[in-house]
Amino acid sequence: MGDTKRLLIINPKQFGYHLDTYYYCKWASREFRTTYHGFDAGEPKLAMEGVAVDYVPRQGHLLTRYLRFLRSCIIECRKGYDVIFVKYFPGCSVLRIFNPCDRLVLDIRTGSIALHPGKRQWLNRMLRLESLFFRHVTIISESLADRLGLDRRNVHVLPLGADPIETVRKEFSSLHLLYVGTLSGRRIEDTIVGFHKFYQEAGRTADMTYEIIGDGYHGELGGLRALVGKLALDRVVSLPGYIHHRELASRYERCNAGVSYVPIDDIYDCQPPTKTFEYLLAGMPVIATNTRENASVITEHNGVLIDDTPEGFYEGAKALARNKGTYDSNAIRANALRYSWETIVHSNLVPYLRSVADD
């Protein structure tokens, strides 16, 4: 271990509560002596063998916390790491100013998702400006790099991944849909209305269910539960609320098709939805809205692309039911293994970090 290179990962999120960096640590720590530097947000602390976690106290008002975190990062960056991987946060370019070595990598997982177009455009411009301070930039997709107008000479695509969930081979004599994700800004009510139409058409005794797991920031869960009651779908549509990722295996076990529903607009068009990959790695065909990134993954062999409307969801459910005899759960899972975090970290991230460290 004496000659193993040292990797520092900086992310304001508490360790274990941002999936991408959690899996970077899980798999990269087998190649690097890895340290994670982030806030102690008061959540239960997770441990990982081979990963040292530095916690920064989160007490105080917003500005105090922000300045404390920046100062702690500047100090940590000066401890002789071979490569420093910074998950973007506003103001992170300060780290490059105070640590002018070329071994800092800026990682961009998303553009702005602010609802107001003017605010979104301004935040994306700030992100682009801060990226100019870094000679090494990783980003989730080529389409997002183009959208942000990044200098492609400095950009390395580090795609989104997912963690395989072991389930039995799926069979498709019935239809049991699963949505996992936030309820904010996704218009999940469209899927409930579309499912209602499909359920009525199929006959209300048809063997089908729809489980929607997640919560929102603005009372969306209560509104969706009220909609389910209004449509008399209580027997077949369930909304249990938020369930931690580590406790989702049983849900993936009993469902046989995934729902990857995001609006088709410039906010989400360049964002590969995590759950698309998780469903595929569980051997499940996917009903997915026809964003640019979903369209690069979903084929006739692993799902169906739809419009982001209730009618689109209804048509997608019909197509899934119509094609159920053509889906092969094992083939769907096998073809999706290239999207697993283990594959992405070992074949993409680790070689890239080594090249930066040796540069």
Q: In angstroms, rounded to a whole number, what is the distance separating the alpha carbons of residues 243 and 247?
A: 7
CA distance 32 to 55: 20
d(CA 259, CA 60): 40
* Cα–Cα distance measured from residue 108 to residue 91, given in angstroms and rounded to the nearest whole number: 13
Q: Do 172 and 325 contact (CB within 8 A), yes or no?
A: yes
Per-residue pLDDT at 121 exceeds 80: yes
Section 247-272 average pLDDT: 91
Residue 273's pLDDT band, with cuts at 50, 70 and 90, is confident
**The pLDDT value given to residue 77:** 95
Confidence of residue 157 (pLDDT cuts 50, 70, 90): very high
Share of the chain above pLDDT 90, in %: 83
Angstrom CA distances, 92 to 69, 98, 235, stand at 10, 11, 49
pLDDT tens for 162-195 read 988 888 888 998 999 999 999 998 999 999 999 9
* CA gap 160, 139 in Å, rounded: 9
Query: How far, CA to CA in Å, does 87 sit from each of 10, 110, 140, 162, 211?
Result: 6, 10, 12, 18, 32
Which pTM was predicted? 0.87
Which pLDDT tens digit goes with each residue over 25-76?
A: 999 999 999 999 999 999 999 999 999 999 999 999 999 999 999 999 999 9
d(CA 259, CA 35): 35
Contact 34, 64 (CB under 8 A): no
The two tokens of residue 81 are 């790491």
Mean pLDDT of the chain: 94
What is the torsional sign of CA 235, 240, 245, 246? Answer: negative
Residue with the larger pLDDT of the pair 335 and 100: 335
Q: How confident is the model at residue 305 (pLDDT cuts 50, 70, 90)?
A: very high
Q: pLDDT category, 2, cuts 50, 70, 90?
A: low
Residue among 177, 178, 143, 175 nearest 159 (CA): 143
> Tokens representing 196?
């209602």
Q: Is a pLDDT exceeding 80 seen at residue 10?
A: yes
**3 state SS for the chain:** CCCCCEEEEECCCCCCCCHHHHHHHHHHCCCCEEEEEEEECCCCCCCCCCEEEEEEECCCCHHHHHHHHHHHHHHHHCCCCCEEEEECCCCCHHHHHHCCCCCEEEEECCCCCCCCHHHHHHHHHHHHHHHCCCCEEEECCHHHHHHHCCCHHHEEECCCCECCCCCCCCCCCCEEEEEECCCCCCCHHHHHHHHHHHHHHHCCCCCEEEEEECCCCCCHHHHHHHHHHHCCCCCCEEEEECCCHHHCHHHHHHCCEEEECCCCCCCCCCCCCHHHHHHHHCCCCEEEECCHHHHCCCCCCCEEEECCCHHHHHHHHHHHHHCHHHCCHHHHHHHHHHHEHHHHHHHHHHHHHHHHHHC
Q: What is the pLDDT of residues 224-246, one digit of tens each?
A: 999 999 999 999 999 999 998 77
- Tell me the domains of the chain and their CATH numbers: 6-161+341-358 (3.40.50.2000), 175-338 (3.40.50.2000)
Spatial contact of 287 and 312, defined as CB atoms under 8 Å apart: no
Q: Within 13 Å, how many C-alpha atoms sit on residue 174's CB side?
A: 11
